[in-house]
C-alpha cells in the first residue's frame, strides 16, 4: 500500500532542469522498500556527480513524500551501480523527444537526426550544453539549434 | 595520517583544484559554448571532489566534512599533483592542461573501478563516464588548435613545452602509491602511464603536434610541496570561510 503510494508521489516529482520529465521517467529511483520498522526507504541515483539539481531533487522528494502523508521515510543516495542514460524509461524518452531534446541512443551512428525536421544533416556544436547531460547540435537543413541527451 | 586518507585526498584535491581553475573561465571564455563547456567540466570535477573529500573525512574519522577539508586546509595539506594548479594562461594552455589531466583521470579511473576498496571503485566507475566526455571536448579542441592557424598552433606548442614537465609527477610512484597498488586499491602508475602515453600520442598525432622531449623533474605536490600558484588559488577559494567562519548559504 504505502509502497504504491510512494511510487505515485515520486512520479509527480519533476526534474528541475527538464520539467517535462519526472524523476521516475529519468530512472533515478533505484528502489522503494518497506523496512522492518515500517518506514519506507527510497534509493535515489544522482545523474552526474556535480549536477546542481541533485540536492533540489532530494528536497523535492522529501516534500512530495511528506505531502503524500508518508511520515516515516529515508532517502538514500545510491552511487553504485552508476546511473546510466539507459535507465530512462520509454515514456521518458518520448517526453524528451516531445520537449525538443533528442533522447540518448547507443545505436545511433552520428550525426544525430534533427528533432524538428528529421534531417540527418546536423553538426555537433559542443559536447556540453546548458547542463552536463546534454550536447549542443545544429541542424544544417532547418538551421535550428537543438539539444541531444548524451549517452552515459 | 592513514594511507587511505592521504591517497583519497590526492585524488580529491586534483579534481578540486582543477575544477576551481576552470571556474575562473566563467564569463571570460572565447565563446558562449566554451564558457558552458568549461563550466560543465568544472562542475563534474567539483562533484568528484565532493565525493572524494567526503570519503576522506569519513576515513579520517575526526568529523571533518567535505567543506572543512576544502575550505580550511592550508596549502601544505593539499596533495594534488602541481600540474592541476598551473594558471589558466590563454585558452590553448587551459586546453593542453585539460587534455593531459583528462587522459590521466580516464586511465586511472578505468582501472580503479575494480579497486578492492568498494567506495573508491564506485566513485571511479561513476566519474569515468564523465571524464570520457571531458577528454572528447579537450582533445577535440587540441586537434583544432594544433592543426589550426599558425597562431593557434604556436600557442599550443608553447603550452605543451611549458606543461609537459609537470606530467612526470602524475606517474612518479612513491611509497604511498606503491602500498595502495599492493593492496589492490589503486592501479599501478606504470600501467596508467603506458596507457596515458598511447592515448596522448594518438591525440598529438591527430593534432599534428610534436611530443615534447622528456626532461626529468621532481615535483612533490602529492606530498604537499606546491608551486607559488596554489596559495593564490586557495586564498580566493577559501576567502569566505576564512573571513566568516561557519558562514552558510
Name the residue among B37, B51, B129 with its Cβ closest to that of A127: B37
Handedness of CA B12, B217, B134, A84 (dihedral sign): negative
Confirm whether the ipTM is greater than 0.90.
no
CA distances from A118 to A28, A112, A121 (A): 29, 9, 9
Name the residue among A52, A84, A128 with its Cβ closest to that of B36: A128
Cβ neighbours of B47 in A, within 8 Å: 48-51
Asked if residue B122 lies in contact with residue A82, where contact means CB atoms within 8 angstroms, the answer is yes
Query: What is the least distance, in Å, from the CA of A78 to any CA of chain B?
Result: 10
pLDDT < 50: residue spans in chain B: none
Residues A96-118 have pLDDT tens digits of 999 989 998 877 666 788 988 88
The grid cell for B169 is 609527477
- Chain A interface includes B29 (CB < 8 A): no
**B213: nearest Cα among B161, B139, B153:** B161
Asked if residue B221 lies in contact with residue B85, where contact means CB atoms within 8 angstroms, the answer is yes
Query: What is the least distance, in Å, from the CA of B221 to any CA of chain A?
Result: 25
**A96: nearest Cα among A140, A131, A124:** A131
Query: What is the least distance, in Å, from the CA of A3 to any CA of chain B?
Result: 28
Most B CBs within 10 Å, among A76, A123, A127, to test the B interface: A127
- Chain A interface includes B48 (CB < 8 A): yes
Asked if residue A121 lies in contact with residue A140, where contact means CB atoms within 8 angstroms, the answer is yes
- Chain B interface includes A79 (CB < 8 A): yes
Buried residues in A80-105 as b, exposed as e (16+ CB within 10 A)? eebbebebbeeebbebbeeeebbbbe
Running along chain A, 152 residues long, what does each successive block of 10 average in pLDDT? 88 90 94 91 89 87 91 90 92 92 78 86 86 88 91 86
Return the H-helix or E-strand segment holding B152. helix B150-163
Q: Residue B70: what pLDDT? A: 97
Asked if residue A33 lies in contact with residue A48, where contact means CB atoms within 8 angstroms, the answer is no
Residues A39-53 have pLDDT tens digits of 999 999 988 888 888
Q: Residue A109: what pLDDT? A: 60
Nearest CA in chain A to B45: A50
Q: How far apart are CA B73 and CA B246, in angstroms?
A: 14
Query: What is the least distance, in Å, from the CA of B139 to any CA of chain A?
Result: 11
Amino acid at each position: 500500500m504505502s509502497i504504491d503510494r510512494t511510487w505515485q508521489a515520486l512520479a509527480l516529482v519533476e526534474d528541475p532542469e527538464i520539467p517535462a520529465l519526472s524523476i521516475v521517467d529519468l530512472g533515478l529511483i533505484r528502489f522503494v522498500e518497506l523496512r522492518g520498522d515500517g518506514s519506507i526507504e527510497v534509493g535515489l541515483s544522482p545523474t552526474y556527480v556535480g549536477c546542481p539539481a541533485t540536492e533540489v531533487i532530494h528536497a523535492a522528494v522529501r516534500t512530495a513524500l511528506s505531502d503524500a502523508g508518508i511520515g516515516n521515510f529515508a532517502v538514500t543516495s545510491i552511487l553504485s551501480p552508476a546511473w546510466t542514460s539507459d535507465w530512462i524509461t520509454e515514456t521518458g524518452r518520448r517526453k524528451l523527444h516531445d520537449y525538443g531534446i533528442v533522447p540518448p541512443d547507443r545505436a545511433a551512428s552520428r550525426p544525430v537526426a534533427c528533432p524538428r525536421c528529421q534531417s540527418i544533416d546536423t553538426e555537433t556544436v559542443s559536447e556540453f550544453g546548458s547542463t552536463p547531460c546534454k550536447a549542443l547540435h545544429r541542424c544544417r537543413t532547418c538551421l535550428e539549434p537543438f539539444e541531444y541527451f548524451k549517452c552515459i | 595520517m592513514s594511507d587511505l586518507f592521504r591517497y583519497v585526498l590526492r585524488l580529491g584535491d586534483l579534481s578540486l583544484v582543477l575544477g576551481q581553475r576552470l571556474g575562473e573561465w566563467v564569463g571570460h571564455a572565447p565563446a558562449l559554448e566554451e564558457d558552458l563547456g568549461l563550466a560543465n567540466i568544472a562542475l563534474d570535477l567539483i562533484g568528484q571532489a565532493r565525493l572524494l573529500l567526503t570519503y576522506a573525512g569519513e576515513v579520517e574519522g575526526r568529523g571533518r566534512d567535505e567543506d572543512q577539508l576544502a575550505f580550511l586546509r592550508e596549502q601544505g595539506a593539499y596533495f594534488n599533483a602541481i600540474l592541476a594548479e598551473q594558471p589558466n594562461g590563454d585558452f590553448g594552455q587551459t586546453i593542453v592542461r585539460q587534455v593531459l589531466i583528462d587522459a590521466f583521470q580516464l586511465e586511472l579511473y578505468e582501472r580503479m573501478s575494480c579497486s578492492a576498496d568498494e567506495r573508491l571503485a564506485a566513485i571511479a566507475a561513476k566519474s569515468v563516464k564523465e571524464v570520457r566526455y571531458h577528454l572528447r571536448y579537450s582533445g577535440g579542441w587540441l586537434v583544432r588548435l594544433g592543426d589550426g592557424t599558425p597562431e593557434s598552433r604556436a600557442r599550443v606548442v608553447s603550452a605543451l613545452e611549458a606543461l609537459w614537465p609537470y606530467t612526470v609527477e602524475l606517474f612518479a610512484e612513491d611509497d604511498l602509491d606503491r602500498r595502495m597498488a599492493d593492496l589492490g586499491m589503486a592501479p599501478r602508475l606504470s600501467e596508467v602511464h603506458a596507457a596515458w602515453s598511447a592515448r596522448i600520442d594518438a591525440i598529438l598525432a591527430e593534432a599534428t603536434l610534436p611530443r615534447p622531449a622528456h626532461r626529468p623533474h621532481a615535483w612533490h605536490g602529492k606530498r604537499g610541496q606546491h608551486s607559488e600558484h596554489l596559495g593564490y588559488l586557495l586564498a580566493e577559494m577559501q576567502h569566505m570561510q576564512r573571513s566568516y567562519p561557519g558562514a552558510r548559504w
